[in-house]
Amino acid sequence: MTFARRLAVGLPVVALACGAAPAFAAGSAVAPPPAVSAPAGLQVADDNPPAGPVTPAPVPDLFLADALKACRDGASGDKGTLARLTADGWAPSVDGDTQTPFYQAFSGEKDFDDVGTADITFSQEVYPTMTEGYCSISIDTALRKVGIGDLKTMPNFTGQIVENDGGVASAWEIKGANPPVYIQVDQHNQDLYFILDVTTLIQKPAAQLPFVQPDITNDDQDQSPGPQPGGGPDTTNADD
């Protein structure tokens, strides 16, 4: 998602997304916990176990699994996303001031007893030959550390975890995913701020996407916007 879009929907801008090193203060390493072998046949992205004390959490981390599932759906561009996220307790709604024929964003939240209230924002940003599906789930101050290291045992995940005294940052790709899926998951140590980002590059024309469906005419005519959210019986949304 572009810098401007993140500011528009109130999302933090993560340095790692621009290729920079995580904005965590360097510090002395803490002795790592014993390494845990991954089950046979699973792709392990990084052989270095996470450093530093970690509050015990379910393995695989149940919150992380739920957040990852929701955010991949939010970034997918698939029909029925709003219905599925609503049924799963996220209660997404239109981010009213963000709507154009080529961009729509939705937001919601969900309470997790062991982690806190998580906010979700997801969108589609349409270009002539590509649509960027984007989703972010964040918690301002989580109740515990999230088991980001669990992603190392996910099948078909490839990536890296960087951890120091300031927190943990990670970046991943899903091998063989069509459309391609890119994931970042970070958490700060001091305030336990947590964020998960999913980006999907969708090679579909806008007319085939459930969120953004402009009325595309031929090159000799003007283009006019298609149905907009909240606009009456012709409203377009993810469940059409």
Instruction: Walk along the chain (240 residues) and give the pLDDT tens digit of each residue.
Output: 543 444 344 444 333 333 344 444 444 444 444 443 433 333 333 444 444 444 434 447 899 999 999 999 999 988 889 899 999 999 998 876 767 778 888 999 999 999 999 999 999 888 888 889 999 999 999 999 999 998 988 888 999 999 999 999 999 999 988 889 999 999 999 999 999 999 999 887 666 766 665 444 433 333 333 333 333 333 333 333
What total of structural domains would you count in the chain? 1
Instruction: Determine whether 204 is exposed, middle or buried from the number of CB atoms within 10 Å of its CB (0-12, 13-18, 19+).
Output: middle
Is this model's pTM higher than 0.75 or not?
A: no
Q: Which domain holds residue 143?
A: 58-207
Residue 234 maps to a domain: no
Residue 75 maps to a domain: yes
Residue 230, number of CB atoms within 10 A of its CB: 11
Residue 236 maps to a domain: no
